[in-house]
Structure 1
Amino acid sequence: MDVLVVQHVPGEETYAIGEALRARGLTPRVCRMWRGETLPADPAGLRALVVMGGPAAAYGDDAGFPSRAAEVALLRAALARDVPVLGVCLGAQLLAVAAGGRGRPGDGLQVGWGPVRLSAEAAGDPLFADAPGELRVLHWHGDTMDLPPGAVLLASCDRYAAQAFRVGAAAWGLQFHIEVDGPAVDVFAANFPEDAATVPGLRAETPAALAALAPHRDALLARFADLVAARHPD
């Protein structure tokens, strides 16, 4: 088994993450939680764990998110084994919870293309080292997180401070969607039309935003894929 991808809803796929992994000869195996597929009990044999986004919450009761406890447990075990992790949006919030932080409601919906500022620590980060001081990325969330003790904040914005972070040496949480391409944005807008309606210019902005983001997206994800490819599964 190479890379386990936890997918919560149709359409929230790996996109550029999957492309980067496959370019390094890695095989993403998707566990579709919305179909009721079962997570492994532990990360033995995994080269990496990727947890994607979705409309569920990383806090509260499990009535609307029955796999939450199992996902947090798997993330916690991956951290203990130093398995590389990439959590996106909901996946980032779950990673924060697994590491001892907290998921919680934000102060409102943040949707559309907007900037995040990289921290001084990002310059020495294995993924963000060559990224510019500011990236314009796709936001699509209403929840946020309090980072766990020891986490390294890598990116923030005025509205939501925790936009990217690292836990330990090889686990990253990204609140924003760096993985998207043009078809991904179309899928997001189709799946969440009420959210998309709050940003009338979303589709018009996307080509230019993606053209600016793509080189940095691809470099960051290639670094993650290289790190994963260099790791031998347990």
Structure 2
Amino acid sequence: MKTAWAIRHLRFEDLGLLDPLLRERGYDIHYHDASADLPTPMGCDSADLLVVLGGPMTADDYAGHANLRDEVAILRQRRERDLPTLGICLGAQMMALAVGGSVRPMARKEIGWGGLQVADVANSPLAGVAVQDQVLHWHGDEIVLPEGFTALASTPACPVQAFAWSPRGLALQFHFEADPGRIDEWTHGHAAELASVGIDPAGLQRDAAALGTRQQALAARVMGRWLDSLGD
């Protein structure tokens, strides 16, 4: 059986809608909590797929979160060996650091359900995202890519919403994995952050309820295709 390791920074920011997609493809899922049982870079080589999930910290705050430096080292080694790797939000930002990019604070946090402008890039894993599709944005920092890398998607507030370091290494600033049926876990867990920027959690919950099963279909269509491209 194939193994998918997920590095998690918050209990409720888990694989979400990606969980059934992985299990359907024969993956055995193991979570590693970043601050408690982070594996070594060499240890991570044994995972058929590594997913680094989101979190509220700044990706290069090594003084406040020593594990982040270790996670960037893990991601750097995954890239060097071209091992299947997916980064989401904080994970995507650390993937950018691993290829020589940087992160910086945005003028205003981007939080809420909204669309994406997908770049016209050959063989883009995001080619299946339609104009009317909605994803969950939830971040206050943005990625600055080094020369030689191309953004696969953007929004007016954030020019780099996704990039790939190879067909087997995908970084997503937004949350394809977010399950609208569990958005209350996000709004409760990030209540202080929402209050600090004046966002009503009830509005996020209403938007999530309206999306319903469309998010499951979106994850299955886009992320399912990317997972299938990794092969056995």
Kept after mapping to 1: 8 A contact 2:53/2:90: yes
Whole-angstrom distance in 1 between the partners of 2:82 and 2:23: 21
Q: Show the counterpart of 2:210.
A: 208
2:29 is matched with 28
Q: Does 1:18 align with 2:19?
A: yes
Q: Which residue of 2 aligns with 1:38?
A: 38
Within-5 A mapping of 1:129-208: 129-133=127-131, 135-197=133-195, 198-200=198-200, 201-208=203-210
The answer to which of 217-226 and 87-96 deviates more is 217-226
Q: Greater shift after overlay, 212-221 or 82-91?
A: 212-221
How far residue 195 of structure 1 moved from its aligned partner, in angstroms, is 3.3
User: 1:71-124 deviations in whole A, cap 9, x for unaligned?
Assistant: 001101001111111111000000000011111211121111112111111x62
Once residues 184 and 149 of structure 1 are traced to their aligned partners in structure 2, the CA distance between those partners, rounded to angstroms, is 38
User: Could you give the per-residue CA deviations for residues 161-184 of structure 1, whole angstroms, max 9, x where no partner exists?
Assistant: 111111122111111111011343
Residue in structure 1 matched with residue 229 of structure 2 by the alignment: 227
CA contact (8 A) 1:92 1:174 kept: yes
Question: What residue ranges of structure 2 are gaps of 5+ in the alignment?
Answer: none
Amino acid at match of 2:117: R
CA displacement 1:175-206 (0-9 Å, x = unmatched):
11110113431111010113344332111111
> Residue type of the partner of 1:115?
G
Deviations 1:42-91 (A, max 9, x none): 2322211100000111124x232110111001101001111111111000
The residue number in structure 2 matching 1:110 is 110
AA aligned opposite 1:46: A
**Which of the pair has the greater relative contact order for Cα pairs under 8 Å at 6+ separation?**
1
Q: Distance in 1 between matches of 2:54 and 2:176?
A: 12
> Hey, which bits of structure 1, 4+ residues long, moved more than 4 A?
none
User: Structure 1 regions of 5+ residues with no counterpart?
Assistant: none
RMSD of equivalent CA atoms: 1.8
CA contact (8 A) 2:115 2:131 kept: no
Judged with a 3 Å threshold, the aligned counterparts in structure 2 of structure 1 residues 46 and 109 are, in CA distance, closer, same or farther, namely same
TM-score, length basis structure 2: 0.90
Contact 1:4 1:31 in 2 (8 A): yes
2:219 corresponds to which of 208, 212, 217:
217
Matched-pair contact (CA < 8 Å) for 1:150–1:167: no
After TM superposition, the structure 1 stretch with the greater mean CA deviation from structure 2, 180-189 or 48-57, is 180-189
> Contact between 2:17 and 2:178, CA under 8 Å: does it hold in 1?
yes
CA distance in 2: counterparts of 1:16 and 1:175, whole angstroms: 16
Q: How many angstroms does 1:210 deviate by?
A: 4.0
* Residue of structure 1 equivalent to 2:119: 119
Percent of residue pairs identical: 31
Preserved contact between residue 118 and residue 134 of structure 1 (Cα < 8 Å): no
- Report the CA distance shift for 1:195/1:135 in structure 2 as closer, same or farther (over 3 A): farther
Q: TM-score, normalised by structure 1?
A: 0.89
What displacement does 1:134 show?
A: 5.2
